[in-house]
Structure 1
Amino acid sequence: MRALLQRVSSASVTVEGEVIGQTGRGLMVLICAMQGDGEAEADRLATKIAKLRIFPDEDGRMNRSVLDIGGGALVVSQFTLAADTKRGNRPGFSTAAAPEDGRRLYTYFADALAGQGIAVETGRFGADMQVALVNDGPVTIWMDTSE
């Protein structure tokens, strides 16, 4: 699975003019299931993200996790993280999981992250979403379970 994490002051996702998910201080997690991914990758990624120390301590050093600060997470499906841009000018997405698997693993991942003790809200799989966020830092981190 691939994830793009952004440390945020706030984030929200809107579908058809309605805010369907939001968080205050915490993480914006854009997530993509890749071909061959399963629950093991989702579990491993959720555990790593929950414990990742990217929030400042009292000395301003990145020493606290989203769990440590009592932060939340907004999890949004983003199959374009699978983009292959090696050839031509149009990205290919053939390495992304099939839509049925992507939906299942997206939901599974969000539940696994919530199971770590984090308040999780989500976007809507496959929908045309507008995402707004205030990137804190900015801190943006790429994660891939295949690496």
Structure 2
Amino acid sequence: MTALTQDSFAERLPTEIEVDNADHLRKIMAGLVRDEEPTHLQLALEKGEMADVTLSPAIAKTFLQVLRLISSGKGFRLIPVGAELTTQQAADHLNVSRPFLIKLLEAGEIPFAKTGRHRRIKAEDLFAYKAMRDGRRADALSDMAKLDAEKGYL
């Protein structure tokens, strides 16, 4: 299977050609994107025709994030906010073990539903937990830095 026929980067890393293509397009897009303003593009179609495309700020920024991932050679998965994830998918997203995630679920840290004997986690609940966890970590690191500064360790 060639790089041009592979479906996505969920199960593989980008090829060198894909990295180069994404980096080239990322540089072009970065020069066009302005904060909170629509991004206007002109695309060359077949037979010399041109198409005007306007991207909202959110779409333009998301597109740039995807291009950054590809141009850095990383694989990735897109998870719709309304998706339901398995415990393994949720654990992978949080970068924790599945047993640790199950402990979080059973402790009520993250809401979940059971489908038969399987647990399912709504992506939006997982994202909310991750944001809260990351916020706590940032606060703790900030507090530690303040203590170090007070003690003269810096």
TM-score normalised by L of structure 2: 0.23
Larger of the two Rg values belongs to structure: 2
Which structure is higher in RCO with an 8 Å CA cutoff and minimum separation 6? 1
TM-score normalised by L of structure 1: 0.23
Which protein is richer in helix relative to its size? 2
Which protein is richer in strand relative to its size? 1
